[in-house]
Amino acid sequence: MEFAWTPEHRAFRQRLRDVLAANLPDNWPVVSNGYDNGSDASVAFSRKFCPILAEEGLLIPHWPKENGGGGLDAFHHWILGEEMWGVGEPRAYQYMSINWVGPAIIKFGTPEQQAEHLPRICGGTISYCQGFSEPGAGSDLAALRTRAEPTGDGRYIVNGQKIWTSAASFADACILLARTGAERHAGISMFIVPMDLPGITVRVIPGMQGERAMHEVFFDDVEVGPECLLGTENGGWKVATEVLANERIGVPRYALTWRGFNKALEHLRLDGRLENAAIRARAARCEAALKAARLAALGVINARIHHRPADVSVNVARYAAVWADRQVVEFLGDFAGDLLFYDVDAVVTAAYKRATSIGIGAGAAEVQLNLVSRNLLQMPRGNA
């Protein structure tokens, strides 16, 4: 076991910091509307910034070279995530392309799909949204009802509604789960659908997590061609499982929480509050939880590097991250309520705001516990 970064990892982090320092607008926490990666300013900046990262070889350092990546190990991917998420994600929602949409296309896409999508992902010029959740299918994702009716000549007619979809109003394409058969899991297919197709309507849902973080997306007789099917017809659950494994440990969410937490501690130290022994103890306990979340996530990345398939350690790590964020939110609420305003400290407030959603997005915390129970503890299934 070795718990230290190599000189290459450290140099990579430093390069990222240099590029961020050279490119992030002055007063970025405020310009980005409190690290809101759905804000106009953030999305506009991401369209300029992602091609710069691509140019510098920093956008997709960890993909295989034959797919347009840098061929570096997965810890580089994680360092990239920490540095970006920790400053409010200046890639806006393009992290999704890099973390899980692209890998799914590499694994399940046809040569034509790869030729169409991968160069745009690698160039930082395409943004996706994720059409998974529905009004009646959230944690119970396989209950989804959006239907893609085969027309018999390879095309599909899509009807249904997606909800809570992040970035839908400015994404170029949607990875869409839709029902093509009757069977619960084996009747679902995955599509990549351009968002400008006739019949797609998007409505923004104003939300606590930021601008354009949640939408409703309606599909009314949307015609999609066979080129949109990712994987096989009725084979979408496998693709979705892969996507979710990458999504659950795809974003180092603790990175922003930790930076916000540390910034709060600076305030508390400056005004003397941190001299209180009770506050100091609570702070250190938050730090232990954050560190545990980071170690658990790095353990998942470590397994990727050793070519082991994703397993229940993903769910364990995700719950550790939820736990850490909860500790920090409670700490800030208990001791630093006066800091939680954008004009007092945009970073602390952004971290506080974001942390509330960590146990909900990408599979509720309780779903993670179900999976830990089933796959790690191998508990029996029951009626209650």
Partner 1 sequence: MDFDLTQDQQQIEDALAQMVERHSVLPVGDPSYVKTSPELDRDLKASGFLNIAREEGLGDLEAVMLIEAVAKIPYASEVAATALVAPNVTARELPGPVALTRLPLGGPIRFLAPGGTLLVDTGVDVRVIALTSENVAPAASIYNFPYGRLVGVDPSTAPVLEGAHPEEFRRCWRLGLAAEIVGAMDVSIATTVAYVKERKAFNQPLGAFQAIQHRLSECAVMLNSARLLTREAAWSGQPKAAALAASYAQEAAAKVVYDCQQFHGAIGLTLEYPLHYWTYRLRQLQGELGGPVILAQAAADMSYAANQPIGDPFGGDALN
Binding site for partner 1 (CB under 8 A): 1-6, 9-10, 13, 75, 82-83, 86, 255, 258-259, 262-263, 265-266, 269, 274, 277, 280-285, 287-296, 298-299, 302-303, 306, 316, 319-320, 323, 366, 369-370, 372-373, 376-384
Q: Which is nearer to partner 1, 142 or 292 (CB)?
A: 292
Q: Are strands 229-230 and 188-194 parallel, antiparallel or unpaired?
A: antiparallel
Q: Which is nearer to partner 1, 174 or 296 (CB)?
A: 296
Least spacing, CB of residue 167 vs partner 1, in Å: 26
Least spacing, CB of residue 269 vs partner 1, in Å: 6
Q: Which is nearer to partner 1, 79 or 126 (CB)?
A: 79
Least spacing, CB of residue 79 vs partner 1, in Å: 8
Position of tokens 């980071």?
294
Least spacing, CB of residue 300 vs partner 1, in Å: 9
Q: Which is nearer to partner 1, 157 or 298 (CB)?
A: 298
Question: Do residues 284 and 328 touch, judged by C-beta distance below 8 A?
Answer: no
d(CA 252, CA 84): 9
d(CA 313, CA 300): 6
Q: Which is nearer to partner 1, 22 or 277 (CB)?
A: 277
CB crowding 68-79: b at 16 or more within 10 Å, else e: bbbebbbbbbbb
d(CA 365, CA 206): 23
What CA–CA distances, in Å, run from 316 to 77, 321, 373, 380? 20, 9, 10, 19
Q: Which is nearer to partner 1, 6 or 241 (CB)?
A: 6
Q: Which two tokens stand for residue 344?
A: 């007092």
Q: Which is nearer to partner 1, 219 or 319 (CB)?
A: 319
Position of tokens 């104003």?
206
| The dihedral formed by the CA atoms of 292, 295, 297 and 301, expressed in degrees to the nearest 10 | -170
Q: Which is nearer to partner 1, 6 or 201 (CB)?
A: 6
Q: Which is nearer to partner 1, 167 or 290 (CB)?
A: 290
Q: Where do the DSSP E strands lie in 236-342?
A: none
Question: Do residues 368 and 319 touch, judged by C-beta distance below 8 A?
Answer: yes
Closest CA to 246 of 12, 77, 88: 77
d(CA 88, CA 180): 38
φ, ψ of residue 224 to 5 degrees: the values are: -120, 145
Least spacing, CB of residue 371 vs partner 1, in Å: 9
Least spacing, CB of residue 82 vs partner 1, in Å: 6
DSSP three-state, residue 28: helix
Least spacing, CB of residue 348 vs partner 1, in Å: 12
Question: Do residues 355 and 329 touch, judged by C-beta distance below 8 A?
Answer: yes
Least spacing, CB of residue 70 vs partner 1, in Å: 18
Position of tokens 């009314």?
220
Least spacing, CB of residue 309 vs partner 1, in Å: 15
